[in-house]
Structure 1
Amino acid sequence: MLRISALNDAATHVGLAVDLPLANARAICPDVQVHDADEVADADALNAIAEWCDRFTPLVALDLPHGLFLDISGCAHLFGGEAAMMNLVCSVLTAQGFRVSGAIAGTAVCARTLTRHVHGRIVRDGEEAEAVRLLPISALGADMAVVTGLRRAGLKTIGEVADRGRHEITARFGARFTALLEQALGHSDAPISPRKPLPDYIVEKRFAEPVATEAVISATLSGLAGTLVAAMGKQGKGARQLEARFFRTDGAVRTITVDTGQPVTRGEVIDRLFRERLEALSDPLDPGFGFDLIRLTASRTEIVVQEQRDLDAHVHDQDEVSALIDRIAARIGGKRVVVHLPQDTHIPERAVLKAPAQHHLLEAAQSTWPARVAGEPPLRPLRLFERPEQIKVIAEVPDGPPARFVWRRATHAVVRVEGPERVAMEWWRAGSAVLTRDYFRVEDEEGLRFWVYRDGLFEEIEQQEGKAVLPNWFMHGLFA
C-alpha cells in the first residue's frame, strides 16, 4: 500500500497527513500531485546539512529520516547564547530553501518532540515535563500502533499518559515506549550517537569576514598547528592523524586528512605536511566566496615517549626516514607507500607481505630476511608477477628443464638452467589437492634470466586426471 511520507503546507490545509494511504489522499483531494519518494536523495541532503552543522558543534547526530541532533553543551556562548545560536542555524537553513523547526532542551527526545509542534522553544533544565505536557501523543514519534492504542484508551496528550502509572504503560505498550516517555519528560536521558567520533584535540579559527586568499589560509593553518601542538604538549602527546576542515560560506565543507608514522610534536612539521597535501590535491581547494571557519583536529594521538639519544649520527636515521615517508604519503596517499615484511612460508607469492610504511616502518627495520650467499646470484627474482603467466615449453625429457619456451608470443632459447627447486604447496590450506611446483632459473641466448615453474609432477597429474597429460608451465618472475 502506498502511503504519504512527506507533504507541503497546501496538502496539510486540505486535510492530508503523513502516513495517510494514497488512495485516501486522492479521495480527499483528487487533484493532489504525487511524486515518488527518493530516500537516497533525502539521506544525502540530510548528511550534507549535518556536515554543515559541524561548524557549530562537532557532536552532530542523525535523527532519521528528517532530523538532526546537535549537542551544544559549552558551544552556545560562542554564538551569543542559545537563542542567538538557534536563530542563526535556522535562518541560514531557511535561506537555503529548507523548512526548519528547532528547539533546545535538556534531552534530545524532548527537543525533538517540541519541534513537531512548536518552533524556537527553549526549555530550561527541569521544565521538560511542563513543556511537553499539552502536546499530542503523536509528537513523541512512537509507533502508530502505540499511538492508536493510547487514543482508544482516551489518552490523547503526553500529560495524560504521564499521569498514569509507569507499570500500567509498560505492561500495555512495552518498556521501549516508557523509556521514550521518560526522556521526553526529562526524567532520564540517552546520549546521542554522533556521526563522527569526537577528536582528541580541536582548534579552530572563525573569521568575521570570509577569507579566500592562499596566504591567509596558509597562515591560519600554521597558527592553528602551533596552538594544537601546545595543547597536546601539556599532556605529553603527539598527533598520529590530523584533519583540517574548511567551511565555506555557501555551506560546503572540505576535509583534508594527514597520517603520520610517529607522533608529531612540532607545529612546523604539521604545517609542512598540510602544504604537501594541498599542493598534491587533484581537486584543488576551492574557497568559493570564502571560508568563514578553519578547523584543525588531532583525531588520533599517542603519548610521546622520551628517549635518550647518544651522539651516534645513525640514531636519527629512522626519524629522517619516517619524516620522508610522511611527506611522500601526504602527496600520493599513505596506501601507496609500503614496506615489505618477510613471512614464514616457503610459498613464493606469500613470502612477502606489503604493509603501509607509516604504520610498519619499525617492524620492517627489525625484520630478518634470509641471508644471501656472497658471490652467488639470488635464488628468487626481485620482481614477481601478481599472477603467473602461462608459457609453452619444449623440454628434452618430459620431467626435465625447459630447452625452449614461448612467452608473450616471443620464443626464447635456453642456454643455461639451474634447478629444479621443488616447492610442495600448502595442501592443508586448500579444499582440493594442489600440485607440486618445480622451479627453474633459466637464461636465454640474449642474457635475460627468468624464473619459471612446472605446475605438477607427472604422477600427480595422472592420479588426478586419470589419464596421461602434460603439466602446465608458468612464468613467475624476472631476474634483474
Structure 2
Amino acid sequence: MRTMRPHLFVGRAETPIAFVETVSGGVRLKALDRAAVRAGLQPGLTLADARARVPELEVYEDDAHADHEWLERLADGCQRYTPSVALDEPDGLILDIAGCVHEFEGERRLAADLEERLARRGLLVRHAFGDTPDTARALARYAGAPAPDEKRAVKRLPVAALGLDEDATTALSRAGLKTVGDVMARPLATIAARFGEEAAMMIRRLDGSVKGPIVARRTVAKIGVERRFAEPIARTEYALEMLAELATEAAVQLADRLEGGRRWEARLFRADGLVQRLRIETGQPTRDVALLMRLFRERIDSLADPLDPGFGYDLVRLDVALAEKLDASQLKLEGGEAQKGEVAQLVDQLGTRLGRARVRRFSARDSHIPEQAELMLPAAEAPAPTPWTAPETGEPPLRPIYLFDPPQPIESMMAEVPDGPPHRFRWRRTVHDVAHSEGPERIAGEWWRRQDIPTRDYYRIEDRRGRRFWIFRHGLYSEMEAPRWYLHGVFA
C-alpha cells in the first residue's frame, strides 16, 4: 500500500497499517506493516483487540486479487535473475537459478542484489537456497537452528515446514514428532499409513529423493539474448537501439538453426523493479531485423500508456518465444514472392497496431450454400489463399460482386409459368422489368446438416435499364405451396 499509493501517507509515515479478513464469523488481522508490528500487533488477532491496543491503527480489507497481481509484478521483476520464476502463493516466489548464478558472480551477490532492489520498494524478504524447490521453500519460510549443511538444516525445521494441512501437522506434533528430522527418522511406510501418503511424499521431496516440479509462469524461450548496463539508460530510444542489436544476435542464432521467429517478446527492466513488456507476432517466420524494429515501434505507438523509463533501464532482454523453419526462398521473375512478402508485412504491421484478431482475410469454405462458402479468419493465421476460378475473357461473372447476407426478400414476382424464369419483380418498392435471364442454377440443401432445407433455383437477370441481379426461388412448387423469392446479390 505504501509503495503503490505513497500519496495517501504523506506526513504519516509511522501510521500503523493492517489488512483484515473475516474468519469463522470474526474479523482478524491478516497482514501488518512494520509500524504495526513495532506497536505489538501480530497476525491472527481480532480487530477489536487490535484497536484496543493501537487506536490509531488504519485498517483495509484484504484483497486476494490485488495480492496476486502484486506478486505477478514482483515475479516479472525477478526475471532479471532467471527466466524460470514460479509463484508460491500467497506471498512467495521460487527462482530456478541453475545456469544463471555466474552473471552475478555467485549466489550471495545475486541474493544481495535481489534484497536491495526489493528493499527500495519497501519489502522485507527472507530467502534460502536449496537443491530442490521444496527444500528452498521450507528453509525460507521456517526458521530452524543453525546447521553446517543443507540436509542437517532441513532436519532441524519444525514439522510445519512439510506444508501439510493443519490436522496432519497437529497429529504429527501430538505423536511427539516436533521436527522434520523426527519424521525422517521413522520408516516412510509407517508415516504414510499413519499420517497419509502426502506426508511421506513431502519427506521424499525434502530429502532430495524426489524433486518437485517448478511450474514456471512462462515457458522458457529457446533463444534469448540480453544486455545489462552498469548505469541505467534513461531514454527509450537508446533501449530500442540496444533492442536492434539484440534482434541481430537472435537472427544469427536463428540462421544457424535454419529457423525464423514468429513470436518475439522484448522486456525492458527498469531500475526501480518494474518491467515493461512488448510483444509482436508475425504471420510468417522471419529474421528481418528492420521489419522487427518497425513492428516494435508500431507496438509502442499503439500503447495506451506510453513507455516510461522512470529512473532508467538497466536490463533489456529479447526472447524468441516461437520459431519455425525458414528455408531460403527463390525469387520469381514476375515478382510473385516479393508481392506475397509485402502482403505478409502489411498484415503484421496492421496486426501490431490494431490487434491480430482485427485484421482478417477471406478464406474459402467447402459449402454449396453461397452465403456459407467463405469465412473470415485472422489474416496472420489464415491458410494459404485458395485460387478462385476466374471467368473466361469476355464472359460475365457467374457470381455477383456484392452478396446480401441475409438475402433480401422480393416483394412480388411475376413469371410466365410457375417454374419459369422471372418476368417482372418488385424489390425495395421499385418494379424491375426483366430483359434477359439465365438459369436456373439449382442448389440443393446440405442434407447432411438438415433434412428440411428447401432447394434453391438461382437466376442471373438483367432489367431493361441494364442492372443485373442474382435472385432465387426458395423451394420448389413440388416441395411447398407458395415458394418465396429473394434477391441474393447484385453484379454491378
Q: Does the pair score TM above 0.5?
A: yes
Q: 1:224 Cα shift?
A: 1.0
Aligned to 2:491: 479
The code of the aligned residue for 1:403 comes to R
Q: Deviations over 1:124-161 (max 9, x none)?
A: 9xx43312222222233221221122122121221211
Structure 2 Cα separation of the partners of residues 450 and 81 of structure 1: 78
Structure 2 Cα separation of the partners of residues 203 and 420 of structure 1: 65
* Distance verdict in 2 for CA 1:279–1:30, change over 3 Å: closer
Q: Give the RMSD, CA atoms, in angstroms.
A: 3.5
* Distance verdict in 2 for CA 1:383–1:111, change over 3 Å: farther
Contact 1:453 1:474 in 2 (8 A): yes
Matches within 5 A, 1:4-403: 6-8=30-32, 10=36, 16-17=43-44, 25=46, 31=52, 36-118=61-143, 127-279=149-301, 281=303, 283-306=305-328, 309=330, 312-314=332-334, 317-333=336-352, 334-360=356-382, 363-364=384-385, 367-385=386-404, 387-388=405-406, 390-396=408-414, 401=422, 403=424
Whether 1:428 and 2:440 are equivalent positions in the alignment is no
> Which range is displaced more, 192-201 or 39-48?
39-48
Contact 1:240 1:302 in 2 (8 A): yes
Structure 2 Cα separation of the partners of residues 122 and 68 of structure 1: 23
Structure 1 Cα separation of the partners of residues 217 and 340 of structure 2: 36
Aligned to 1:464: none
Q: 1:475 Cα shift?
A: 4.8
Whether 1:413 and 2:432 are equivalent positions in the alignment is yes
Q: 1:235 Cα shift?
A: 2.9
Q: 1:345 Cα shift?
A: 2.4
Q: 1:395 Cα shift?
A: 0.9
Contact 2:350 2:359 in 1 (8 A): no
Q: 1:116 Cα shift?
A: 1.7
TM-score, normalised to structure 1, is 0.81
Structure 2 Cα separation of the partners of residues 445 and 253 of structure 1: 69
Structure 2 Cα separation of the partners of residues 447 and 212 of structure 1: 68
Q: 1:295 Cα shift?
A: 1.4
The DSSP-based 3-state class of the residue aligned with 1:427 is coil
Structure 2 Cα separation of the partners of residues 393 and 302 of structure 1: 56
The DSSP-based 3-state class of the residue aligned with 1:396 is strand
The code of the aligned residue for 1:300 comes to L
Q: 1:184 Cα shift?
A: 2.4
The DSSP-based 3-state class of the residue aligned with 2:31 is coil
Contact 1:15 1:28 in 2 (8 A): no
Structure 1 Cα separation of the partners of residues 470 and 85 of structure 2: 57
Q: 1:202 Cα shift?
A: 0.5
Structure 2 Cα separation of the partners of residues 218 and 329 of structure 1: 19
The code of the aligned residue for 1:396 comes to M
Contact 1:325 1:337 in 2 (8 A): no
Percent identity over the alignment is 38
The DSSP-based 3-state class of the residue aligned with 1:7 is strand
Structure 1 Cα separation of the partners of residues 468 and 479 of structure 2: 28
* Distance verdict in 2 for CA 1:76–1:435, change over 3 Å: same
> Which range is displaced more, 41-50 or 2-11?
2-11
* Distance verdict in 2 for CA 1:212–1:95, change over 3 Å: closer
Q: 1:458 Cα shift?
A: 5.3
Q: Deviations over 1:28-56 (max 9, x none)?
A: 66759875432222222222222222222
> Which range is displaced more, 93-102 or 81-90?
93-102
Structure 2 Cα separation of the partners of residues 369 and 66 of structure 1: 58
* Distance verdict in 2 for CA 1:94–1:436, change over 3 Å: farther
The code of the aligned residue for 1:393 comes to E
Q: Deviations over 1:399-432 (max 9, x none)?
A: 664834444xx646354554443322213224x7
> Which range is displaced more, 243-252 or 276-285?
276-285
Q: 1:168 Cα shift?
A: 1.0
Contact 2:400 2:489 in 1 (8 A): yes
How many residues align structurally? 454
Q: 1:214 Cα shift?
A: 4.7
Q: Structure 2: where are the runs of 5+ without partners? A: 1-23
The DSSP-based 3-state class of the residue aligned with 1:426 is coil
The code of the aligned residue for 1:252 comes to L
* Distance verdict in 2 for CA 1:267–1:474, change over 3 Å: same
Structure 2 Cα separation of the partners of residues 252 and 438 of structure 1: 65
Structure 2 Cα separation of the partners of residues 284 and 16 of structure 1: 40
The code of the aligned residue for 2:491 comes to F
TM-score, normalised to structure 2, is 0.79
Q: 1:163 Cα shift?
A: 1.2
* Distance verdict in 2 for CA 1:473–1:290, change over 3 Å: farther
* Distance verdict in 2 for CA 1:15–1:264, change over 3 Å: closer
The DSSP-based 3-state class of the residue aligned with 1:238 is strand
Contact 2:283 2:348 in 1 (8 A): no
Q: Structure 1: where are the runs of 5+ without partners? A: 18-23, 462-467
